[in-house]
Chain A
Amino acid sequence: MKRFRQWLAAALLAVSVWQAPVQAAENPYEKTEEVFWHVMESHLSKPQEAQLVKGALQAVSEQAKERKKLQLAVSAEDDTWEELVQRLAEWQGRSGFDASSINIWAIDGMLSTLDDPHSVFFTADELRLFQSDVENQFVGFGFRLRMQNDHLIIREIIPGSPAAASALKRGDQLQKINEISLVDKTFEEAYAYLKGAEGTEAVLTVYRPAEKRELQVKLKRAMMTLPEAEGQLFSDGTIGYISLETFGSEGALQMRDKLQEFARSPKPLKGLVLDLRDNSGGYLATARDVASLFMEDGLLMYTMNRNGVEVETWVRNGRDIGIPVRILVNGGTASASELLSGALRDHGIAKLIGTKTYGKGSAQQVIPLSEGDALKLTLNEYFTPKHTVVNHVGLTPDIVVEDYGAQVVEALHSLNVRQWELSDEDGDTVINGVPFPTVEPLFKQGPGGLQIRAAILSHLLKDPAIGEKEYVELAPYLQKHPALKLQSKNGVQVLTYTS
Chain B
Amino acid sequence: MQKLIRTLTGGLLVAALFTPGVAVAAGGFLPYKDISQHWARASIVRAVQAGLFAAGTDAPLFYPNREMTRAEFVAMIDRLYNGGQYQLYPLTFLSEHAEWSKGEGFEEPYLPYKDVDRLTWMYYPTLRVSVVLDRLYGPNAIQEIFPGEKMNPNQPITQEEAAKLMQMFTMSTDSEKAWEEVKAWGWLEGDRGDKLKRGEAAAAADRMITYLVQDTILPLLDYDGQKFPMVPEIEELFPYFATYTIWKTTEEKAYVEAVDAIRDHEDSEQTYRVLRKLLETSFDNRIGLHYYLSWDPETEISANLDEAIRAIDAYFATKVIDPDTLRLLSANVYDLALQLGASDPQQFAKVLERLGTYEPKVKPESKEWEALAIYLGALEIRSGQSEKAMNRYRQFATTNPEALLNACYYLYQDGRLKEAEALLATVKPNAADSRMVQLSKLLKQEMASLQEQAAIVSDLGYSLRRLDNADSYQVKGEAVLSGFTFKYTQEVDQRSQISKLNGFYQSPQKLVSDKLAAYTDGRKKIQYSYDSETQKWEQHKTDKLDFLHEWVNALPVTERAKSLRARYFKQSFGEIDVITEWIPGAALEEKSASLMLDRGKVKSVPLFINKYYIDRASDRIVKHTWRYEEMYQSDEYVAYSGTDQYEYTANVKLSIPDEVRKGVTP
Q: Which residues of A contact B (CB under 8 A)?
A: 1-8, 10-11, 14-15, 18, 38, 41-42, 252-253, 256, 289, 292-293, 296-297, 305-309, 311, 316-319, 365, 367, 377, 379-380
Please tell me which stretch of B230-238, B263-271, B514-522 contacts chain A, meaning at least 4 of its Cβ atoms lie within 8 angstroms of it: B514-522
Q: Are B511 and A10 in contact (CB under 8 A)?
A: no
Chain A residues lying within 8 Å of B486, measured Cβ to Cβ, are 1, 4
Evaluate whether A317 and B116 lie within 8 angstroms (CB atoms) in the complex, with A1-B490, A305-B512 already known. yes
Q: Does B95 contact A (CB under 8 A)?
A: no
Q: Does B12 contact A (CB under 8 A)?
A: no
* Minimum distance in angstroms from B191 CB to a CB of chain A: 33
Would you call the interface of chain A mostly helix, strand, loop, or mixed? mixed
Q: Which residue of B lies closest to A15 (CB)?
A: B509
Q: Are B108 and A316 in contact (CB under 8 A)?
A: yes
Q: Are A8 and B484 in contact (CB under 8 A)?
A: yes
User: Chain B, 102-143, contact with A by CB distance < 8 Å: what is the 0/1 string?
Assistant: 000010101101101111000100010000000000000000
User: Chain B, 511-546, contact with A by CB distance < 8 Å: what is the 0/1 string?
Assistant: 111111010100000010101110000101010001
* Minimum distance in angstroms from A202 CB to a CB of chain B: 40
Please tell me which stretch of B201-209, B351-359, B475-483, B586-594 contacts chain A, meaning at least 4 of its Cβ atoms lie within 8 angstroms of it: B475-483
Q: Which residue of B lies closest to A292 (CB)?
A: B118
Complexed CA–CA distance, A319 and B484 (Å): 34
Known: A15-B507, A41-B510, A307-B504. 13 other contacts (CB 8 A): A2-B549, A6-B527, A7-B505, A7-B514, A7-B516, A8-B484, A297-B110, A307-B512, A316-B108, A317-B118, A319-B114, A319-B117, A379-B512
Q: Does B550 contact A (CB under 8 A)?
A: yes
Chain B residues lying within 8 Å of A6, measured Cβ to Cβ, are 518, 527, 529, 531, 538, 540
Complexed CA–CA distance, A317 and B142 (Å): 15
Q: Does B488 contact A (CB under 8 A)?
A: yes
* Minimum distance in angstroms from A379 CB to a CB of chain B: 6
Chain A residues lying within 8 Å of B516, measured Cβ to Cβ, are 7
Q: Are B114 and A296 in contact (CB under 8 A)?
A: yes
Chain B residues lying within 8 Å of A379, measured Cβ to Cβ, are 511-512
Evaluate whether A317 and B542 lie within 8 angstroms (CB atoms) in the complex, with A11-B507, A292-B118 already known. no
Complexed CA–CA distance, A297 and B111 (Å): 11
Chain B residues lying within 8 Å of A3, measured Cβ to Cβ, are 518, 520, 527, 542, 546, 550
**Which residue in A8, A11, A41, A289 is a CB contact (below 8 Å) of B511?**
A41
Complexed CA–CA distance, A57 and B349 (Å): 73
**Which residue in A8, A14, A253 is a CB contact (below 8 Å) of B481?**
A8
Residue of B510, B520, B540 most packed against chain A (CB within 10 A): B510
What are 15 pairs between A and B in contact, CB < 8 Å?
A: A1-B488, A1-B644, A3-B542, A4-B479, A5-B546, A7-B484, A7-B516, A41-B510, A305-B513, A309-B515, A317-B111, A317-B127, A318-B118, A319-B114, A379-B512
Complexed CA–CA distance, A10 and B536 (Å): 13
Residue of A2, A11, A309, A377 most packed against chain B (CB within 10 A): A2
Q: Are B553 and A253 in contact (CB under 8 A)?
A: no
Complexed CA–CA distance, A305 and B510 (Å): 12
Chain B residues lying within 8 Å of A367, measured Cβ to Cβ, are 511
Complexed CA–CA distance, A3 and B106 (Å): 19
Q: Are A317 and B527 in contact (CB under 8 A)?
A: no
Q: Are B482 and A8 in contact (CB under 8 A)?
A: yes
Q: Are A289 and B118 in contact (CB under 8 A)?
A: yes
Complexed CA–CA distance, A3 and B538 (Å): 14
Complexed CA–CA distance, A256 and B118 (Å): 11
* Minimum distance in angstroms from A301 CB to a CB of chain B: 15
* Minimum distance in angstroms from A17 CB to a CB of chain B: 11
User: Chain B, 496-513, contact with A by CB distance < 8 Å: what is the 0/1 string?
Assistant: 000001001101011111
Q: Are B553 and A2 in contact (CB under 8 A)?
A: yes
Complexed CA–CA distance, A8 and B511 (Å): 16
Q: Are B119 and A14 in contact (CB under 8 A)?
A: no
Chain A residues lying within 8 Å of B482, measured Cβ to Cβ, are 8
**Which residue in A8, A297, A306 is a CB contact (below 8 Å) of B512?**
A306
**Which residue in A1, A5, A11, A18 is a CB contact (below 8 Å) of B475?**
A1
* Minimum distance in angstroms from A18 CB to a CB of chain B: 7
Complexed CA–CA distance, A15 and B509 (Å): 7
Chain A residues lying within 8 Å of B110, measured Cβ to Cβ, are 297, 316-317
Complexed CA–CA distance, A312 and B488 (Å): 14
Q: Which residue of B lies closest to A307 (CB)?
A: B514
Q: Which residue of A lies closest to B110 (CB)?
A: A316
Q: Which residue of A lies closest to B481 (CB)?
A: A4
Complexed CA–CA distance, A11 and B513 (Å): 11
Complexed CA–CA distance, A15 and B506 (Å): 12
Chain B residues lying within 8 Å of A5, measured Cβ to Cβ, are 540, 546, 598
Q: Which residue of A lies closest to B553 (CB)?
A: A2
Q: Are A307 and B532 in contact (CB under 8 A)?
A: yes
Complexed CA–CA distance, A379 and B108 (Å): 21
Chain B residues lying within 8 Å of A380, measured Cβ to Cβ, are 512
Chain A residues lying within 8 Å of B118, measured Cβ to Cβ, are 289, 292, 316-318
5 closest Cβ contacts across the A-B interface? Answer: A316-B110, A309-B504, A42-B511, A11-B507, A305-B512
Complexed CA–CA distance, A316 and B108 (Å): 9
Complexed CA–CA distance, A14 and B509 (Å): 9
Chain B residues lying within 8 Å of A1, measured Cβ to Cβ, are 475, 477, 479, 486, 488, 490, 501, 644
Complexed CA–CA distance, A282 and B416 (Å): 65
Chain A residues lying within 8 Å of B477, measured Cβ to Cβ, are 1
Q: Are A293 and B119 in contact (CB under 8 A)?
A: yes
**Which residue in B119, B127, B488 is a CB contact (below 8 Å) of A252?**
B119
* Minimum distance in angstroms from B83 CB to a CB of chain A: 26
Chain A residues lying within 8 Å of B514, measured Cβ to Cβ, are 7, 11, 307, 309
Q: Are A292 and B117 in contact (CB under 8 A)?
A: yes
Chain A residues lying within 8 Å of B117, measured Cβ to Cβ, are 292, 317-319
Q: Which residue of B lies closest to A43 (CB)?
A: B512
Complexed CA–CA distance, A318 and B542 (Å): 46
Chain A residues lying within 8 Å of B515, measured Cβ to Cβ, are 307-309
Chain A residues lying within 8 Å of B531, measured Cβ to Cβ, are 6, 10
Q: Which residue of B lies closest to A316 (CB)?
A: B110
Complexed CA–CA distance, A203 and B540 (Å): 76
Complexed CA–CA distance, A41 and B520 (Å): 29
* Minimum distance in angstroms from A475 CB to a CB of chain B: 51
Complexed CA–CA distance, A488 and B509 (Å): 68
Chain B residues lying within 8 Å of A15, measured Cβ to Cβ, are 507, 509-510
Q: Which residue of A lies closest to B528 (CB)?
A: A6
Chain A residues lying within 8 Å of B598, measured Cβ to Cβ, are 5
Complexed CA–CA distance, A308 and B549 (Å): 32
Complexed CA–CA distance, A3 and B520 (Å): 10
Chain B residues lying within 8 Å of A319, measured Cβ to Cβ, are 114, 117
Q: Which residue of A lies closest to B117 (CB)?
A: A319
Residue of B113, B475, B512, B529 most packed against chain A (CB within 10 A): B512
Chain B residues lying within 8 Å of A10, measured Cβ to Cβ, are 531, 533
Residue of A7, A306, A365 most packed against chain B (CB within 10 A): A7
* Minimum distance in angstroms from B560 CB to a CB of chain A: 16
Q: Are B510 and A14 in contact (CB under 8 A)?
A: yes
Residue of A5, A296, A297, A316 most packed against chain B (CB within 10 A): A5
Complexed CA–CA distance, A323 and B532 (Å): 46
Complexed CA–CA distance, A18 and B477 (Å): 29
Complexed CA–CA distance, A417 and B114 (Å): 31
Q: Which residue of A lies closest to B475 (CB)?
A: A1
**Which residue in A11, A305, A365 is a CB contact (below 8 Å) of B484?**
A11
* Minimum distance in angstroms from B130 CB to a CB of chain A: 11
Chain A residues lying within 8 Å of B533, measured Cβ to Cβ, are 10, 14
